[in-house]
Amino acid sequence: MSSDLKSSYLAGLEQDCILHLFEVHHKGEVFRFHNYVNEMGNAIVWRGASYNVFPIEVDGFSRSGRGTQPVISITVGNANGVLSNLLPVYGDFVGAEFRRLRVPKYCLDAVNFAQGNEDADPAGGFPHEVFEIAQKVSENAISVEWSAEGPLSLERVKLPGRIASRTYCTAVYGSKNCGLGALLFEHVSSESYGAGARVRAAEVTVNSGLVQIYVAKINVPEGIELNDESYWQKDFCDKTLRACEDRFGEGNVLRFNGFPGSNLPLSG
């Protein structure tokens, strides 16, 4: 297909026509694809990101009411072995997240159109669909084919996904999943500090994403750093409901990552 014909594709579509954009998220990188270019002969741009022209065909999105999830087929052109060179580096892309984004033409960024687009709407479009690439089906000099499964496919799910403990908090103490850690992340700078007669103080360890919480051994004078072991010691949480109450105060709202009500009898 000539470049001129590809460029005329977008101009010939009705404004409410739905474009299918595709993304592959793998190992911290994002690859974006679309079959055609914009009116300027460049990559389609959506929300400031470029979707490079690349021959791609995806089948199997239909859903049934029988409870089975779709297994889709993804076929991408392999001209000059461009994909064959990437497959060993990215482990055949197995386990990668594959996304389909459905976007009306009128929502696309203004740079896609020769006359601009006053109706460009980065918040438009349908919720994207997410699949996981399950396996590489075939590879040759023309194309590479994968199969991908929907998020609710249970073939490789291991149970239990999470243990519902009545008495034990499953969060890592000081992490953003920990109630106290999440609270301190919002209010504590990355510099350590001490305050007179405080029971607890904290510092954010930026690299690890954890809040290190300290407990005062005795009343702490102003200006004493948290690394002074004469006054401070690292706090330890035993992950119980009582430990959570000690930190938030009995009778207050607790951010406990356990399930205290899991052994209550069912009412009915």
Shared domain for 254 and 162, answered yes or no, is yes
Task: Give the chain's largest Cα–Cα span.
Answer: 78
Tell me the per-residue pLDDT of 35-54, one tens digit each, with 9 for 90 and over.
888 888 899 999 999 999 88
The more confidently predicted of residues 110 and 61 is 110
Q: Read off the pLDDT band of 162 (50, 70, 90).
A: low
Please give the model's pTM, rounded to 2 decimal places.
0.54
Contact by Cβ (8 Å): 32, 23: yes
Report the number of distinct structural domains present in the chain.
2
Shared domain for 176 and 145, answered yes or no, is no
Q: Read off the pLDDT band of 6 (50, 70, 90).
A: very low
Shared domain for 56 and 141, answered yes or no, is yes
The more confidently predicted of residues 123 and 11 is 123
Residue 49 in domain: yes
Shared domain for 94 and 71, answered yes or no, is yes
Range in 9-23, 72-86, 226-240 the model is least confident about: 9-23
Mean pLDDT of the chain: 77
Q: Read off the pLDDT band of 193 (50, 70, 90).
A: very low
Residue 164 in domain: yes
Q: Read off the pLDDT band of 242 (50, 70, 90).
A: confident
Final residue in a domain of this structure, among 84, 116, 149: 149
Inform me whether the pLDDT recorded for 112 exceeds 80.
yes
Q: Read off the pLDDT band of 262 (50, 70, 90).
A: low
Final residue in a domain of this structure, among 125, 149, 173: 149
Shared domain for 137 and 207, answered yes or no, is no
Q: Read off the pLDDT band of 209 (50, 70, 90).
A: low
Final residue in a domain of this structure, among 83, 116, 149: 149
Shared domain for 130 and 194, answered yes or no, is no
Note the pLDDT of residue 91.
Answer: 92
Contact by Cβ (8 Å): 10, 112: yes
Note the pLDDT of residue 5.
Answer: 39
Average pLDDT of the residues in 76-92? 92
Shared domain for 222 and 131, answered yes or no, is no
Q: Which residues form the domain of 128?
A: 3-149
Inform me whether the pLDDT recorded for 146 exceeds 90.
yes
Shared domain for 202 and 84, answered yes or no, is no
Shared domain for 23 and 99, answered yes or no, is yes
